[in-house]
Amino acid sequence: MQVNLTPPQFEFVTASDQFPAMVAGFGAGKSHAGIWRTLVLKRRYPNQNVAFYMPTYDLISRMAFPRFDEILSNIGARYKINKNDSVIEIDNCGAVICRTMDNPARIVAYEVADSVLDELDTLPTEKARDVWNKAIARNRQKKPDGSLNTVAVATTPEGFRFVYERWKKNPAPGYRLIKATTMSNAANLPDGYIDSLRSSYPANLLSAYLDGEFVNLTAGSIYAEFDRALNACTTIIAVSEPLHIGMDFNVGQMAAVVFVLRDGLPHAVDELTGLLDTPAMIAAIKARYQGHAIFVYPDASGGSRKSNNASESDIALLRAAKFTVLAPSANPAVKDRLISVNQMIHSEGARRLKVNVDRCPAFVEGLEKQAYDKNGEPDKSSGHDHVNDAAGYFLYYRYPVRGRAISSISIGGI
Protein backbone atom coordinates (compact mmCIF):
# COMPACT_ATOMS: atom_id res chain seq x y z
CA MET A 1 0.00 0.00 0.00
CA GLN A 2 1.35 3.39 -1.03
CA VAL A 3 0.75 6.03 1.65
CA ASN A 4 1.15 9.75 1.09
CA LEU A 5 3.06 11.55 3.83
CA THR A 6 4.16 15.14 4.12
CA PRO A 7 7.95 15.71 4.17
CA PRO A 8 8.07 16.10 7.99
CA GLN A 9 5.88 13.03 8.46
CA PHE A 10 8.08 10.97 6.14
CA GLU A 11 11.20 12.21 7.93
CA PHE A 12 9.75 11.11 11.28
CA VAL A 13 8.36 7.77 10.10
CA THR A 14 11.66 6.73 8.53
CA ALA A 15 14.07 8.28 11.06
CA SER A 16 16.76 5.81 12.17
CA ASP A 17 17.92 8.02 15.07
CA GLN A 18 17.48 6.50 18.51
CA PHE A 19 15.31 9.34 19.84
CA PRO A 20 13.51 11.31 17.09
CA ALA A 21 10.86 13.88 18.03
CA MET A 22 8.30 15.38 15.66
CA VAL A 23 7.28 18.71 17.21
CA ALA A 24 4.35 20.06 15.29
CA GLY A 25 1.45 22.48 15.13
CA PHE A 26 -2.20 21.48 15.28
CA GLY A 27 -3.31 19.51 12.25
CA ALA A 28 0.25 18.76 11.11
CA GLY A 29 -0.49 15.02 11.23
CA LYS A 30 1.81 14.04 14.08
CA SER A 31 -0.46 11.26 15.43
CA HIS A 32 -0.91 9.94 11.90
CA ALA A 33 2.86 9.86 11.51
CA GLY A 34 3.26 8.20 14.91
CA ILE A 35 0.92 5.37 13.98
CA TRP A 36 2.66 4.80 10.66
CA ARG A 37 6.06 4.80 12.35
CA THR A 38 4.72 2.14 14.72
CA LEU A 39 3.52 -0.06 11.85
CA VAL A 40 6.69 0.40 9.78
CA LEU A 41 8.79 -0.73 12.78
CA LYS A 42 6.38 -3.62 13.30
CA ARG A 43 6.84 -4.73 9.70
CA ARG A 44 10.61 -4.33 9.89
CA TYR A 45 10.92 -6.40 13.08
CA PRO A 46 7.94 -8.81 13.10
CA ASN A 47 9.26 -10.82 16.04
CA GLN A 48 9.62 -7.78 18.30
CA ASN A 49 6.89 -5.65 19.85
CA VAL A 50 6.31 -1.90 19.68
CA ALA A 51 4.74 0.25 22.40
CA PHE A 52 2.40 3.12 21.53
CA TYR A 53 1.70 5.61 24.33
CA MET A 54 -0.96 8.30 24.72
CA PRO A 55 -1.76 10.52 27.74
CA THR A 56 -4.97 8.69 28.78
CA TYR A 57 -6.88 5.49 28.10
CA ASP A 58 -9.77 7.55 26.77
CA LEU A 59 -7.50 8.78 23.97
CA ILE A 60 -6.27 5.26 23.25
CA SER A 61 -9.85 4.01 23.07
CA ARG A 62 -11.27 6.90 21.03
CA MET A 63 -8.29 7.75 18.83
CA ALA A 64 -5.59 5.09 18.68
CA PHE A 65 -7.70 1.94 18.37
CA PRO A 66 -9.96 3.33 15.60
CA ARG A 67 -6.99 4.65 13.61
CA PHE A 68 -5.00 1.44 13.88
CA ASP A 69 -8.17 -0.46 12.98
CA GLU A 70 -8.76 1.67 9.88
CA ILE A 71 -5.19 1.47 8.61
CA LEU A 72 -4.73 -2.24 9.27
CA SER A 73 -8.05 -2.99 7.53
CA ASN A 74 -7.08 -0.88 4.53
CA ILE A 75 -3.79 -2.72 4.05
CA GLY A 76 -5.45 -6.13 4.37
CA ALA A 77 -3.75 -7.18 7.61
CA ARG A 78 -5.14 -9.91 9.83
CA TYR A 79 -5.24 -8.58 13.37
CA LYS A 80 -7.13 -8.49 16.65
CA ILE A 81 -7.58 -5.52 18.98
CA ASN A 82 -7.71 -6.70 22.59
CA LYS A 83 -9.15 -3.66 24.38
CA ASN A 84 -9.02 -5.33 27.80
CA ASP A 85 -5.25 -5.75 27.59
CA SER A 86 -4.73 -2.72 25.30
CA VAL A 87 -2.85 -4.83 22.79
CA ILE A 88 -3.15 -5.01 18.98
CA GLU A 89 -2.06 -8.47 17.82
CA ILE A 90 -1.07 -8.68 14.14
CA ASP A 91 -0.75 -12.08 12.46
CA ASN A 92 2.89 -12.93 11.75
CA CYS A 93 3.92 -9.49 13.01
CA GLY A 94 3.81 -9.60 16.80
CA ALA A 95 1.99 -6.95 18.82
CA VAL A 96 1.53 -3.25 19.36
CA ILE A 97 1.24 -2.66 23.11
CA CYS A 98 -0.81 0.47 23.89
CA ARG A 99 -0.22 2.17 27.22
CA THR A 100 -1.15 5.44 28.93
CA MET A 101 1.17 8.06 30.38
CA ASP A 102 -1.08 9.36 33.16
CA ASN A 103 0.44 7.01 35.74
CA PRO A 104 4.15 6.39 35.11
CA ALA A 105 4.26 3.76 37.89
CA ARG A 106 2.15 1.47 35.68
CA ILE A 107 4.68 1.43 32.83
CA VAL A 108 5.96 -1.99 33.93
CA ALA A 109 5.81 -5.74 33.18
CA TYR A 110 6.32 -5.80 29.40
CA GLU A 111 9.18 -5.52 26.93
CA VAL A 112 9.36 -3.94 23.48
CA ALA A 113 11.98 -3.12 20.90
CA ASP A 114 10.69 0.34 19.97
CA SER A 115 8.25 2.91 21.34
CA VAL A 116 6.25 5.89 20.10
CA LEU A 117 4.94 8.48 22.58
CA ASP A 118 2.09 10.69 21.36
CA GLU A 119 1.66 14.13 23.02
CA LEU A 120 4.35 13.63 25.67
CA ASP A 121 4.74 17.39 26.12
CA THR A 122 1.17 17.83 27.34
CA LEU A 123 2.31 16.27 30.64
CA PRO A 124 3.89 18.36 33.42
CA THR A 125 7.66 18.40 33.04
CA GLU A 126 8.52 16.04 35.89
CA LYS A 127 5.84 13.53 34.93
CA ALA A 128 7.00 13.62 31.30
CA ARG A 129 10.56 12.96 32.44
CA ASP A 130 9.38 10.01 34.55
CA VAL A 131 7.36 8.59 31.65
CA TRP A 132 10.34 8.97 29.31
CA ASN A 133 12.67 7.11 31.65
CA LYS A 134 10.12 4.35 32.23
CA ALA A 135 9.50 3.95 28.49
CA ILE A 136 13.22 3.68 27.78
CA ALA A 137 13.47 0.98 30.45
CA ARG A 138 10.81 -1.08 28.62
CA ASN A 139 12.81 -0.90 25.35
CA ARG A 140 14.99 -3.97 25.78
CA GLN A 141 13.96 -6.55 23.21
CA LYS A 142 17.04 -7.24 21.12
CA LYS A 143 16.72 -6.68 17.39
CA PRO A 144 18.02 -9.38 15.04
CA ASP A 145 20.15 -6.92 13.03
CA GLY A 146 21.69 -5.44 16.17
CA SER A 147 20.27 -1.97 15.55
CA LEU A 148 19.39 0.38 18.40
CA ASN A 149 16.10 0.37 20.24
CA THR A 150 14.27 3.62 19.50
CA VAL A 151 11.88 5.81 21.45
CA ALA A 152 10.12 8.44 19.33
CA VAL A 153 7.92 11.38 20.33
CA ALA A 154 5.19 13.15 18.35
CA THR A 155 3.82 16.19 20.16
CA THR A 156 2.70 19.78 20.09
CA PRO A 157 5.19 22.11 21.82
CA GLU A 158 3.81 23.14 25.20
CA GLY A 159 6.20 25.87 26.23
CA PHE A 160 9.59 25.24 27.75
CA ARG A 161 8.87 21.80 29.13
CA PHE A 162 10.52 18.40 28.91
CA VAL A 163 10.64 18.15 25.11
CA TYR A 164 12.25 21.59 24.85
CA GLU A 165 14.85 20.71 27.47
CA ARG A 166 15.72 17.33 25.95
CA TRP A 167 15.56 18.03 22.20
CA LYS A 168 16.14 21.78 21.85
CA LYS A 169 18.03 23.24 24.80
CA ASN A 170 20.56 20.48 25.55
CA PRO A 171 20.20 17.70 22.97
CA ALA A 172 22.40 14.66 23.52
CA PRO A 173 23.64 12.43 20.69
CA GLY A 174 20.76 10.50 19.12
CA TYR A 175 18.15 13.16 19.87
CA ARG A 176 16.79 14.45 16.56
CA LEU A 177 14.26 17.30 16.36
CA ILE A 178 11.87 17.30 13.38
CA LYS A 179 9.71 20.43 13.06
CA ALA A 180 6.33 20.45 11.31
CA THR A 181 4.03 23.40 10.77
CA THR A 182 0.28 23.17 10.28
CA MET A 183 0.86 24.53 6.77
CA SER A 184 2.95 21.47 5.90
CA ASN A 185 -0.24 19.41 6.01
CA ALA A 186 -2.59 22.04 4.54
CA ALA A 187 -3.62 19.79 1.64
CA ASN A 188 -5.22 17.36 4.09
CA LEU A 189 -7.00 19.96 6.24
CA PRO A 190 -10.50 21.40 5.77
CA ASP A 191 -10.91 24.75 4.07
CA GLY A 192 -10.66 27.55 6.61
CA TYR A 193 -9.00 25.45 9.32
CA ILE A 194 -5.74 27.42 9.37
CA ASP A 195 -7.55 30.75 9.15
CA SER A 196 -9.72 29.71 12.12
CA LEU A 197 -6.57 29.04 14.16
CA ARG A 198 -5.16 32.42 13.21
CA SER A 199 -8.33 34.16 14.30
CA SER A 200 -8.71 32.17 17.53
CA TYR A 201 -5.23 32.41 19.05
CA PRO A 202 -3.06 35.22 20.40
CA ALA A 203 0.33 35.56 18.73
CA ASN A 204 2.33 33.56 21.27
CA LEU A 205 0.06 30.54 20.97
CA LEU A 206 0.01 30.78 17.19
CA SER A 207 3.77 30.33 17.19
CA ALA A 208 3.36 27.11 19.16
CA TYR A 209 0.18 25.64 17.75
CA LEU A 210 0.50 26.75 14.12
CA ASP A 211 4.25 26.89 13.56
CA GLY A 212 5.34 24.21 16.04
CA GLU A 213 7.73 26.58 17.83
CA PHE A 214 8.81 26.46 21.47
CA VAL A 215 7.57 29.73 22.94
CA ASN A 216 6.80 31.20 26.33
CA LEU A 217 3.19 30.30 27.05
CA THR A 218 3.15 31.92 30.47
CA ALA A 219 2.86 35.49 29.24
CA GLY A 220 -0.44 37.21 28.59
CA SER A 221 -4.09 36.41 29.05
CA ILE A 222 -5.61 33.13 27.95
CA TYR A 223 -8.49 35.07 26.42
CA ALA A 224 -6.44 37.95 25.05
CA GLU A 225 -9.02 38.91 22.41
CA PHE A 226 -11.86 39.42 24.89
CA ASP A 227 -12.96 43.04 25.05
CA ARG A 228 -15.62 44.07 27.57
CA ALA A 229 -16.87 46.70 25.13
CA LEU A 230 -16.72 44.77 21.86
CA ASN A 231 -18.10 41.55 23.38
CA ALA A 232 -20.71 43.33 25.48
CA CYS A 233 -24.47 43.00 25.26
CA THR A 234 -27.47 44.18 27.25
CA THR A 235 -29.37 40.93 26.77
CA ILE A 236 -31.60 39.81 29.63
CA ILE A 237 -33.56 36.63 30.19
CA ALA A 238 -36.95 36.58 28.48
CA VAL A 239 -40.04 35.08 30.07
CA SER A 240 -40.02 31.27 30.00
CA GLU A 241 -37.11 30.99 27.57
CA PRO A 242 -34.73 28.01 27.88
CA LEU A 243 -31.56 28.63 29.89
CA HIS A 244 -28.23 26.99 29.09
CA ILE A 245 -25.99 26.76 32.15
CA GLY A 246 -22.30 25.83 32.09
CA MET A 247 -21.23 24.46 35.47
CA ASP A 248 -17.98 23.69 37.28
CA PHE A 249 -17.90 21.53 40.44
CA ASN A 250 -15.72 22.70 43.32
CA VAL A 251 -16.72 22.33 46.95
CA GLY A 252 -17.09 25.83 48.34
CA GLN A 253 -16.43 27.35 44.91
CA MET A 254 -19.28 26.10 42.74
CA ALA A 255 -19.60 28.22 39.62
CA ALA A 256 -22.15 28.52 36.82
CA VAL A 257 -22.65 30.85 33.88
CA VAL A 258 -26.14 31.23 32.42
CA PHE A 259 -26.54 31.64 28.66
CA VAL A 260 -29.45 32.33 26.34
CA LEU A 261 -29.33 31.90 22.58
CA ARG A 262 -29.94 34.76 20.19
CA ASP A 263 -29.92 33.78 16.50
CA GLY A 264 -28.12 30.60 17.57
CA LEU A 265 -25.31 32.46 19.32
CA PRO A 266 -24.49 32.50 23.06
CA HIS A 267 -25.23 35.48 25.28
CA ALA A 268 -24.02 35.21 28.89
CA VAL A 269 -26.75 36.84 30.95
CA ASP A 270 -26.18 35.74 34.54
CA GLU A 271 -23.80 33.87 36.84
CA LEU A 272 -23.77 31.99 40.12
CA THR A 273 -20.45 31.80 41.96
CA GLY A 274 -19.04 30.82 45.34
CA LEU A 275 -21.79 28.35 46.24
CA LEU A 276 -21.00 25.56 48.68
CA ASP A 277 -21.89 22.42 46.73
CA THR A 278 -24.16 20.91 44.09
CA PRO A 279 -27.33 20.83 46.24
CA ALA A 280 -26.81 24.53 47.00
CA MET A 281 -26.38 25.26 43.29
CA ILE A 282 -29.55 23.33 42.45
CA ALA A 283 -31.51 25.23 45.09
CA ALA A 284 -30.25 28.58 43.76
CA ILE A 285 -31.15 27.72 40.17
CA LYS A 286 -34.64 26.59 41.13
CA ALA A 287 -35.24 29.72 43.20
CA ARG A 288 -33.90 32.16 40.61
CA TYR A 289 -35.19 30.62 37.37
CA GLN A 290 -38.67 29.30 38.04
CA GLY A 291 -40.67 28.71 34.86
CA HIS A 292 -37.60 28.15 32.65
CA ALA A 293 -36.42 24.95 31.02
CA ILE A 294 -32.94 24.32 32.39
CA PHE A 295 -30.16 22.72 30.33
CA VAL A 296 -26.94 22.11 32.27
CA TYR A 297 -23.53 21.56 30.65
CA PRO A 298 -21.36 20.38 33.55
CA ASP A 299 -17.82 19.35 34.30
CA ALA A 300 -17.96 15.74 33.03
CA SER A 301 -15.92 14.53 36.01
CA GLY A 302 -19.00 15.19 38.12
CA GLY A 303 -20.29 11.83 36.95
CA SER A 304 -17.94 10.08 39.36
CA ARG A 305 -17.08 12.67 42.00
CA LYS A 306 -19.39 12.94 44.98
CA SER A 307 -21.15 15.94 46.45
CA ASN A 308 -22.36 16.02 50.03
CA ASN A 309 -24.63 13.02 49.41
CA ALA A 310 -22.15 10.15 49.22
CA SER A 311 -24.59 7.91 47.35
CA GLU A 312 -25.07 10.23 44.38
CA SER A 313 -22.78 11.88 41.86
CA ASP A 314 -23.03 15.58 41.10
CA ILE A 315 -24.47 14.88 37.66
CA ALA A 316 -27.00 12.43 39.13
CA LEU A 317 -28.13 15.17 41.51
CA LEU A 318 -28.69 17.54 38.59
CA ARG A 319 -30.77 14.95 36.77
CA ALA A 320 -32.76 14.20 39.91
CA ALA A 321 -33.57 17.92 40.04
CA LYS A 322 -35.27 17.49 36.62
CA PHE A 323 -32.63 19.48 34.76
CA THR A 324 -31.61 18.31 31.30
CA VAL A 325 -27.92 17.41 31.61
CA LEU A 326 -25.73 17.50 28.50
CA ALA A 327 -22.25 16.16 29.19
CA PRO A 328 -19.74 14.09 27.19
CA SER A 329 -18.30 10.89 28.64
CA ALA A 330 -15.10 12.78 29.44
CA ASN A 331 -14.03 16.41 29.54
CA PRO A 332 -12.45 17.82 26.38
CA ALA A 333 -8.73 18.44 26.33
CA VAL A 334 -8.04 21.77 28.04
CA LYS A 335 -6.50 23.23 24.90
CA ASP A 336 -9.61 22.32 22.87
CA ARG A 337 -11.86 24.00 25.40
CA LEU A 338 -9.70 27.15 25.30
CA ILE A 339 -9.78 27.19 21.50
CA SER A 340 -13.55 26.83 21.53
CA VAL A 341 -13.99 29.78 23.90
CA ASN A 342 -11.49 31.91 21.99
CA GLN A 343 -13.07 31.20 18.62
CA MET A 344 -16.39 32.42 20.03
CA ILE A 345 -14.78 35.52 21.56
CA HIS A 346 -13.23 36.58 18.26
CA SER A 347 -12.72 34.62 15.07
CA GLU A 348 -13.05 35.31 11.37
CA GLY A 349 -13.67 38.96 12.16
CA ALA A 350 -16.73 38.23 14.30
CA ARG A 351 -17.38 38.37 18.03
CA ARG A 352 -19.94 35.64 18.50
CA LEU A 353 -19.80 35.43 22.30
CA LYS A 354 -21.69 38.25 23.97
CA VAL A 355 -21.61 38.96 27.70
CA ASN A 356 -23.88 41.12 29.83
CA VAL A 357 -21.10 42.87 31.70
CA ASP A 358 -23.34 44.11 34.50
CA ARG A 359 -24.91 40.71 35.17
CA CYS A 360 -21.70 38.65 34.82
CA PRO A 361 -18.92 40.58 36.61
CA ALA A 362 -16.97 37.50 37.76
CA PHE A 363 -17.05 35.99 34.26
CA VAL A 364 -15.85 39.24 32.72
CA GLU A 365 -13.03 39.52 35.26
CA GLY A 366 -12.05 35.91 34.65
CA LEU A 367 -11.87 36.40 30.89
CA GLU A 368 -9.77 39.52 31.34
CA LYS A 369 -7.39 38.26 34.01
CA GLN A 370 -6.82 34.50 33.79
CA ALA A 371 -3.32 33.84 32.48
CA TYR A 372 -1.03 30.88 31.94
CA ASP A 373 1.12 29.58 34.78
CA LYS A 374 4.84 28.81 34.59
CA ASN A 375 4.11 25.42 33.01
CA GLY A 376 1.96 26.91 30.27
CA GLU A 377 -1.26 25.67 31.87
CA PRO A 378 -4.27 27.85 32.76
CA ASP A 379 -3.48 29.42 36.13
CA LYS A 380 -5.70 28.15 38.95
CA SER A 381 -4.21 30.08 41.84
CA SER A 382 -6.24 33.26 41.25
CA GLY A 383 -9.65 31.57 41.38
CA HIS A 384 -10.64 32.89 37.95
CA ASP A 385 -10.62 29.35 36.56
CA HIS A 386 -13.91 28.25 38.15
CA VAL A 387 -16.23 30.57 36.27
CA ASN A 388 -14.19 30.36 33.05
CA ASP A 389 -14.24 26.57 33.16
CA ALA A 390 -18.00 26.59 33.76
CA ALA A 391 -18.61 28.71 30.67
CA GLY A 392 -16.11 26.67 28.69
CA TYR A 393 -17.97 23.40 29.20
CA PHE A 394 -21.09 24.90 27.62
CA LEU A 395 -19.25 26.67 24.80
CA TYR A 396 -17.23 23.58 23.86
CA TYR A 397 -20.35 21.38 23.87
CA ARG A 398 -22.41 23.73 21.70
CA TYR A 399 -19.61 25.20 19.57
CA PRO A 400 -16.79 22.62 19.48
CA VAL A 401 -13.44 23.02 17.78
CA ARG A 402 -13.92 22.41 14.11
CA GLY A 403 -11.74 20.63 11.59
CA ARG A 404 -9.45 18.58 13.82
CA ALA A 405 -8.71 16.32 10.86
CA ILE A 406 -5.87 13.83 10.50
CA SER A 407 -3.77 13.56 7.38
CA SER A 408 -3.10 10.54 5.29
CA ILE A 409 5.66 4.93 2.52
CA SER A 410 5.00 1.81 1.22
CA ILE A 411 4.71 -0.60 4.13
CA GLY A 412 4.45 -3.94 2.40
CA GLY A 413 2.54 -7.02 3.49
CA ILE A 414 1.61 -6.82 7.14
Q: What is the pLDDT of residues 344-366, one digit of tens each?
A: 999 878 999 999 999 999 999 89
Burial classification of residue 145, based on how many CB atoms lie within 10 Å of its CB (0-12 exposed, 13-18 middle, 19 or more buried): exposed
Asked if residue 320 has pLDDT above 90, the reply is yes
Walk across the sheet containing 87-90 and list its strands: 79-82, 87-90, 95-100, 50-54, 114-118, 150-155, 19-24, 175-180
* pLDDT tier for residue 413 given thresholds of 50, 70 and 90: very low
| pLDDT band (50, 70, 90) for residue 402 | low
Calculate mean pLDDT across residues 185-192.
91
3 — pLDDT class (breaks 50, 70, 90)? confident
Q: Provide the pLDDT for residue 33.
A: 96
pLDDT of amino acid 203: 72
- Taking the C-alpha atoms of residue 49 and residue 26, their distance in angstroms, rounded to an integer, is 29
User: For residue range 67-77, what is the model confidence (pLDDT) as tens digits?
Assistant: 999 999 998 89
Report the mean per-residue pLDDT for the chain: 89
Q: Do domains 7-209 and 232-398 have the same CATH topology?
A: no
Residue predicted with more confidence, 335 or 35: 35
pLDDT at res. 404:
42
pLDDT at 42: 93
In CATH, what number does 232-398 get?
A: 3.30.420.280
Cα 130 to Cα 185: distance, rounded to the nearest angstrom: 32
Q: What Å distances lie between residue 177 and 126, 150, 174, 406, CA to CA?
A: 20, 14, 10, 21
Does 304 score more than 70 pLDDT? no
Predicted local distance difference test score (pLDDT) of residue 219: 58
Q: Which residue has the higher pLDDT, 156 or 215?
A: 156
- Per DSSP (E only), the strands in 283-404 are 294-298, 324-325, 354-356
pLDDT at 214: 84
Distances 239 to 235, 245, 290 between C-alpha atoms, Å: 13, 16, 10
CA distance 58 to 54: 9
Confirm if 51 and 45 have CB atoms less than 8 A apart: no
**Distance in angstroms (rounded) separating the CA atoms of residues 86 and 96:** 9
Q: Lowest mean pLDDT: which of 142-156, 185-199, 302-316?
A: 302-316
The model's pLDDT over 105-139, given as tens digits with 9 standing for 90+, comes to: 999 999 999 999 999 999 999 999 999 999 999 99
pLDDT at 169: 85
pLDDT tens per residue, range 8-36: 999 999 999 999 999 999 999 999 999 99
- Looking at residue 413, its amino acid is G
Query: Which numeric CATH code is attached to 7-209?
Result: 3.40.50.300
Per-residue pLDDT at 197: 85
**Domain boundary assignment for the chain:** 7-209, 232-398
pLDDT in tens, 277-297: 999 999 999 999 999 999 999
Question: What kind and span of H or E run contains 127?
Answer: helix 125-138
Confidence check: pLDDT of 410 > 50: no
pLDDT tier for residue 405 given thresholds of 50, 70 and 90? very low
Confidence class for position 251, pLDDT limits 50, 70, 90: confident
Residue type at 336? D
Q: What is the mean pLDDT of residues 134-159?
A: 94
Residue 196 near residue 140 (C-beta atoms within 8 A): no
Position 377 confidence tier, pLDDT thresholds 50, 70, 90: confident
Residue 309 has pLDDT above 70, yes or no: no
- Which has more confidence, 373 or 42? 42
User: What pairing do the DSSP bridges indicate for beta strands 50-54 and 294-298?
Assistant: unpaired
Q: What average pLDDT score do residues 180-187 get?
A: 93
Q: Report d(CA 387, CA 390) in Å as an integer.
A: 5
**Percentage of residues in the chain with pLDDT exceeding 90?**
70
